Amino acid sequence: MTIDWTYFTPASALAGGMVINIATAILSLLAGRIAGICGIVGGLFRL
């Protein structure tokens, strides 16, 4: 396997991951909800 250095962009991947993590933390802290499949399934069982 070789890396195509033209399209290797770790900085933008890191920035995107940080945005997702910040959004998840805000949702968890302010709304008290868990994002993702765990939050969806947990909401179904809370009925």
Handedness of CA 17, 18, 19, 21 (dihedral sign): positive
Distance CA 38, CA 46 (A): 12
Q: How many helices (DSSP H) and strands (DSSP E) are in the chain?
A: 2, 0
In eight-state DSSP terms, residue 46 is: T
Contact between 27 and 33 (Cβ < 8 Å): yes
pTM: 0.60
1-38: pLDDT as tens digits: 898 989 899 999 999 999 999 988 888 888 777 777 77
pLDDT in tens, 23-33: 888 888 887 77
* 37 secondary structure, DSSP code: H
Domain boundaries, given as residue ranges, for the chain: 10-45
Give pLDDT, residue 17: 94
